[in-house]
Structure 1
Amino acid sequence: MRLAPTLTRGGRALIIHHTRHHRVCMASAAGPEAAQHTPPPPKACVHAASPAELAAAQQQLQQGEPLVAQRGTAGQPDLHCTLLFPGADGSASPQHGAAGSGAGACGTFRPDEFLSALQTRVLGRVLLTADTTPSTQVLVQENVARLPDGLVFVADRQLGGKGRGGNRWESPGGCLMFTAVKRLAIPGQRLPFVQYIVSLAVAQAVQTEAAARLQGKSIDVRIKWPNDLYAGPLKLGGILCHSSYRDQLFHIVIGVGLNLSNRQPTTCVDALIEAAAAPAADAADAAGGSAGAAASVQQADSTQQQQQQGRRQPPEPVRREQLLAGILSRLEPMLEQLASEGFAPFEAEYCRHWLHSDQQVLLEEGGRHIPVTIRGLSPNGYLLAADEAGERYELHPDGNSLDFFKGLVRKKLPA
């Protein structure tokens, strides 16, 4: 990662820390020492919101060498990605990969449904889709200077997704896994807040999809600082952000992995919505039974059975296409506002969605345990806490612990 030369030493350390410790989602993980295997060269299909945008993307993407999908290791060459454009290959048709058909190179993501729901000027208007790829994050990050601004890459499965501490994540179907590139003119000190904005946009979009299926009710989806989404004690997803500086712009690579329909090894959005819908259906059944008892038995039984059958239908699953369009449509204006106004306009809403308001943390210092209470975020993007005497501190992870809250060190803030 290249950083802007104008960043302060503190800002530099902060951005490096956040790059190091992000995690994508969600499945079994193998450590960095795990045996490596060379997957077949991946293919990705290119789509765009308009013919003009597709033509411009094709011209830009076909310049130079093929896109690097995975860097080679000792004795192994780089792995490159073959791009398929509509009209150049039948398998690259935007309609290919519809639910119920063979996935093919394009995968099962429906670009037409996604693009028709998208409400952005740039973000997501050029789309790559794939059935299987080593890592959406690696491909975008390795080729970021060549990619159209706003490009998003979605894959059904990843064979070598990037995780914290060098872990390799094999992500199954049932996840919404995507990586986006956004070029942004933003002050360097605001850059660490990008991951918080992304987390908030994802949480809000998930809640919107849930409310549409639950008559306005919400589900328990929370942000775990700095970059994970949780449902109760179970991890639901994660965010991975990198940045580089070029031509007076930060090139921000945003990766998101979210359990949408895969119920193992933790939980998923569809399961949370179904669980929230069940109590409402039970209550409605009980009310219907009481009312039916006062009417004729035969008519009540018939009516009640019909009502119960309708209520007990599980909620419609959340579609990746609609959820991704909702995330990006929120995220684009939020990033622009972050660049111009900072994080202050979002802080209250972010804290409303996170797990940590008034959370008590024990810091280990010199063999002592010091209790502090989390009050919010500091101006630098770290945790803001106060001790029993009211002194304020900025809490920094020590960089060695897998659990941020078991490796915190404090820095006293001026009164």
Structure 2
Amino acid sequence: MELQSPTTLVLCGKSTVENELARCLKSNNRLKLPDGSPLNVVLNSEMECRDSAENDGKFCVTSYMDSLATSRFGRLLVYSPKLASTHDVVSHNFEELPVGGVCVADVQLKGRGRSKKCLAITKGVPYVFIHNTDGGWPSCPIGAGMPLLNVRIKWPNDLYLDGAKVGGILCTSVYKSKKFNVSAGIGLNVDNQKPTTCLNSVLQRLTPFTHRLQLEDIIAAFFNKFETFYDIFINQGFRTLEELYYKTWLHSGQRVIVQEQNEKREPISELVIIQVIG
């Protein structure tokens, strides 16, 4: 009988606080996989130093941490070269990982999307998948001199860029200890021009620069922006963000046909104009 190879998880923190938590998670053997399969947990400081230019597409922990400027989100990283599901790691270790802990994999074998590059964050806040297949990126500059990309929201769960789908959102929730832990997964296409379009392809049409955005920069930029919006939402509610939401969605003024049945169960159709979310 062939023994199953252990899944490798590399732990790394932004500061000494997160690095100490990483050491505790390793020494106490706290992290588990849902199927009980073997784990090989190591600290990033124990790994052989790799130059980002020689990573052959592998996630560069140092580059990510250098770009991260948050006080909470993304500061504890769980990285794996190959993983069944980042979501499984997060959801099965909810009590062990801190708010904003991140799980990233170069290759995801059974993820809730169709890709290789993935990310997840924990504790009642979104887990986010970042893909090299059919996903996108919000209107946010990631580097000096780079243009804003006009990514739009197609209700309820798609992201569109230049009329083509570049992302998708998947929400899940778990009720435990009298509270809901909600996870919102966001798939983003960074580098694959098929089957729709990708972030780097559109960016190259808009700017003379040859620089290509890297996954590490995008994840860090996401958390830098997300933390601000998350704090606004928690402290002031969605109303404060509602105007910004409507500025980025596709549907204001759209005419759609609503189909339903009358009392006699006969089909009826009505033309309506979309104004806001009811």
Q: Provide the TM-score with structure 2 as the length reference.
A: 0.82
CA apart distance, 1:272: 0.8
User: Is 2:272 the counterpart of 1:372?
Assistant: yes
> What is the CA–CA distance in structure 1 between the aligned matches of 2:23 and 2:181, rounded to whole Å?
20
Equivalent position SS for 1:377: coil
Aligned to 1:328: 223
Aligned to 1:227: 157
> What is the CA–CA distance in structure 1 between the aligned matches of 2:176 and 2:27, rounded to whole Å?
21
Aligned to 1:50: 15
Contact 1:61 1:146 in 2 (8 A): no
CA apart distance, 1:135: 1.5
Contact 1:46 1:129 in 2 (8 A): yes
Equivalent position SS for 1:318: coil
Aligned to 1:9: none
Contact 1:178 1:257 in 2 (8 A): no
Equivalenced residue count is: 263
Contact 1:181 1:252 in 2 (8 A): no
Q: Radius of gyration: which is bigger?
A: 1
CA apart distance, 1:79: 3.3
Contact 2:52 2:63 in 1 (8 A): no
Aligned to 2:42: 84
CA apart distance, 1:328: 0.6
> What is the CA–CA distance in structure 1 between the aligned matches of 2:23 and 2:172, rounded to whole Å?
25
Q: Give the 5 Å matches for 1:14-413.
A: 40-60=5-25, 62-63=27-28, 66-68=31-33, 71=35, 78-87=36-45, 89=46, 92-93=47-48, 95-96=49-50, 98-101=52-55, 108-163=58-113, 169=114, 171-172=115-116, 175=117, 177-183=118-124, 203-205=138-140, 208-209=141-142, 212-214=145-147, 218-246=148-176, 250-277=180-207, 314-366=209-261, 367-378=267-278
The 1:45/1:250 distance shift into structure 2, 3 A limit, reads same
Q: For 1:135-184, what per-residue CA distance to the aligned partner results, in whole angstroms no more than 9, with x for missing partners?
A: 21122112212212211111122111115xxxxx3x13xx5x21111457
Runs of 5+ consecutive residues of structure 2 not aligned to the other structure: 128-135, 262-266
The 1:249/1:332 distance shift into structure 2, 3 A limit, reads farther
Contact 2:22 2:43 in 1 (8 A): no
Q: Provide the TM-score with structure 1 as the length reference.
A: 0.57
Contact 1:180 1:254 in 2 (8 A): no
2:155 partner amino acid:
W
> What is the CA–CA distance in structure 1 between the aligned matches of 2:269 and 2:199, rounded to whole Å?
37
> What is the CA–CA distance in structure 1 between the aligned matches of 2:54 and 2:107, rounded to whole Å?
17
Runs of 5+ consecutive residues of structure 1 not aligned to the other structure: 1-37, 72-77, 164-168, 185-193, 196-200, 278-310, 379-415
CA apart distance, 1:318: 0.8
RMSD: 2.9
> What is the CA–CA distance in structure 2 between the aligned matches of 1:241 and 1:270, rounded to whole Å?
26
CA apart distance, 1:81: 3.7
> What is the CA–CA distance in structure 2 between the aligned matches of 1:257 and 1:97, rounded to whole Å?
27
> What is the CA–CA distance in structure 1 between the aligned matches of 2:144 and 2:154, rounded to whole Å?
22
Equivalent position SS for 1:209: coil
